[in-house]
Structures are given as C-alpha cells and as structure tokens.
Amino acid sequence: MDELPGDLPEAAGRRFAEGSFTSGLSVPDFAACLQMGLEPAGYVQGFCVMQWRWYGMGMSFGAFGPTGRANGQGYSEAWQCPHGYVSAEHRGWGQNYEQTWIEDAWREGFSSSYERMLEEARTLGAHGIVGVVDASSPLGDLGLLEFRVQGTAVRVIDGPPPIGDRPWTTYLAGQRLGKLIEAGYAPVSVAAAISSVRVWANCITEYLTEGSTTNWGQVAGAEIEQTAKAHMAVRRIARERVRAALGGDSLHGASLATTERELGQGDAELQCILRGNQVRRFKDFDPLAAPRPTVRLS
C-alpha cells in the first residue's frame, strides 16, 4: 500500500498496513471462505450522513393537477373529482407522483457509503467483499440520515485483479456464497434501489380513508384505488430500477421492503427498498439430481 486513494482517513491507511486481518465473518463463514480460496483482508466500512428533511420538492404548486408531474419526470397519475365542485374544502383532484428528489438523495447516500467501502477494500488489495450489510437510520433527532455499508474484504487466492480495480460485492458469505458459486453464479455486486411515491388524495380517496359512506357518491367498502395504485407503483419502480441496472445479469435473494407514512386523511408517502445480489452465470447449469426425501431421527 503506497498511497492512500481518495478521501480515506490517514489513520485507516495505517491500520490497514498493520498486517493482521479483521473480518465480520462468523467462524463457520470464515471456514467456508477459506475452503473457497477466499482470504479475508479486512473489515471494510463506508459511511455517509445526509441531511434529511422535507425540502427540495422540486415542484411548484402550479405543477399539481391533471397534467402535473414531479420534476416533469418519473411516475405520475392524476385523479379527478367526479363531483364538479370548486371549493377550498373539497379536494378537486388527487395525484400520485414519484418523489425523485428523495430517491436521488437516498441514492447519493447509499452510493457514497458504498464507494467508500470499496475504496477501503481497494486499499487492502481485495478482489471482493462478502457478507455486506447495509442500513440507513436517523441520526438522533437532528434531521439527519446515516447510511452505512460494511462487509469483509477478501482476496481470491491466485485470482485475477478485479476489472477496473472495482471489487465485486455480495450480501452472501460462507456456505451460502459457496452454494452460489457451486450453482454456477459469480457474485457481481450488491443491488439496492429505492422508490418513493407521494399520494395526494382526491376527494373520493379522502372520503374512503376516513370511512365516509355514500354521501358523495363513493361506494362504501370499495377499493381505495388511488392508494392501491400507489402501492403497486412504488414496488414496480424499485423493481424496474434494479432490473435496469442488471444489464443481463440476474438478481438473486431479493428482499422488497415497503413502508408507509401517513401524512393526512388519505395522504401518504410510500417508500420501497429492493435489495439483492446481482449475479452472473459463469458456467452452464448443472442441475441437481432428483431430490431424495429423508426422515431425520432427532
């Protein structure tokens, strides 16, 4: 290690040069990695703290309405009032739209911390990072969101240097990574994407979510279509985003987590995060033999 790249702290460089390795692997995972010819190089981490508040909406109120879109890009769908009233107390229209500024900010926080982790791995001469864990959480009550990505950097014994000096990464480690390799998949990268959709309720959505019955023409007990469509859209956008980044590779072991924050009667903000392992087939599939059932005496 001659020079420290980028903005890696000087103390981190000294620590990495000390010779011993650190790892976040459990002992079975450590053993499995050695079995695969993976040598732990160090426990690497990346952090990024972002200011996280309700500004940067990127749209003026004039943008609302049937043809309005957030920033003129992304998903947007409008709902008209069927009653024909013009009143400050009656929601004449509603809109679902993608909050691209929230997605951009999350992407910035995630990719900054991810790149910092890669930078540490490169410093160690690692070929890949296994057992990646990522999370984002509020930092106190300061309106800050902390992104952290960490994992164990490894070297493939006798392996080639990673292309573009960019180590591969995976959420898997140990035995599960072994099975992935055995199944003919090479880990490429962790894949994570967020989508955020805001629901501005129209009158029908508002009445249905507050439990009003048929006084405004809505059908009591009907589907709340605007909210349902927002839920479907937020999941679709996250999946499309990850799929667009796969470039012919596959996504394995995905997890789709959606949260909803109620902001008013019928108004809500939906957020969906999709995580998974981008993998690439490196050999023809070798299917298992027919499964053999067993009864375990224990």
Q: Is 252 in the site for another protein (CB under 8 A)?
A: yes
- Select from 46-54, 113-121, 192-200, 281-289 the region that touches another protein (CB under 8 A): 281-289
Task: Sort residue 237 into left (φ over 0), alpha (ψ -120 to 50) or beta.
Answer: alpha
Report the DSSP pairing between strands 128-138 and 168-169.
parallel
Give the 3-state secondary structure of residue 74. Answer: coil
Q: Is 62 in the site for another protein (CB under 8 A)?
A: no
Q: Is 215 in the site for another protein (CB under 8 A)?
A: no
Strands (E), 81-139: 93-98, 128-138
Q: Is 107 in the site for another protein (CB under 8 A)?
A: no
- Select from 18-26, 31-39, 62-70, 83-91 the region that touches another protein (CB under 8 A): 31-39
Minimum separation from the CB atom of position 231 to another protein (A): 4
- Select from 103-111, 114-122, 135-143, 282-290 the region that touches another protein (CB under 8 A): 282-290
**Backbone dihedral angles phi then psi of residue 27, each to the nearest 5 degrees:** -60, -45
Tokens of 12: 């981190």
- Rounded to 5°, angle at Cα 143 from 142 and 145: 105
Judged by beta carbon, residue 90 or residue 176, the one nearer another protein is 176
Q: Is 27 in the site for another protein (CB under 8 A)?
A: no
Largest distance between two CA atoms of the chain: 75
CB atoms inside a 10 Å sphere around CB 106:
23
- Select from 6-14, 92-100, 193-201, 254-262 the region that touches another protein (CB under 8 A): 254-262
Handedness of CA 245, 52, 94, 257 (dihedral sign): positive
* CA–CA distance, 244 with 183 (Å, rounded to integer): 24
Site for another protein in 141-180 (CB under 8 A): 156-160, 162-163, 168, 176, 178-180
Judged by beta carbon, residue 73 or residue 259, the one nearer another protein is 259
Minimum separation from the CB atom of position 276 to another protein (A): 7
Among 20, 60, 137, 294, interactor with another protein by CB under 8 A: 294
Judged by beta carbon, residue 90 or residue 235, the one nearer another protein is 235
Judged by beta carbon, residue 62 or residue 292, the one nearer another protein is 292
Among 116, 122, 127, 241, interactor with another protein by CB under 8 A: 127
Provide the 8-state DSSP code for 157.
Answer: T
Q: Is 139 in the site for another protein (CB under 8 A)?
A: no
Question: Is residue 191 within 8 Å of residue 275, measured between CB atoms?
Answer: yes
Amino acid making up residue 14: R
CA–CA distance from 217 to each of 180, 227, 265 (Å)? 55, 18, 18
Site for another protein in 224-243 (CB under 8 A): 224, 227-228, 231-232, 235, 239, 242-243
Judged by beta carbon, residue 38 or residue 78, the one nearer another protein is 38
Amino acid making up residue 67: T
Site for another protein in 256-275 (CB under 8 A): 256, 258, 274
Give the 3-state secondary structure of residue 89. Answer: coil
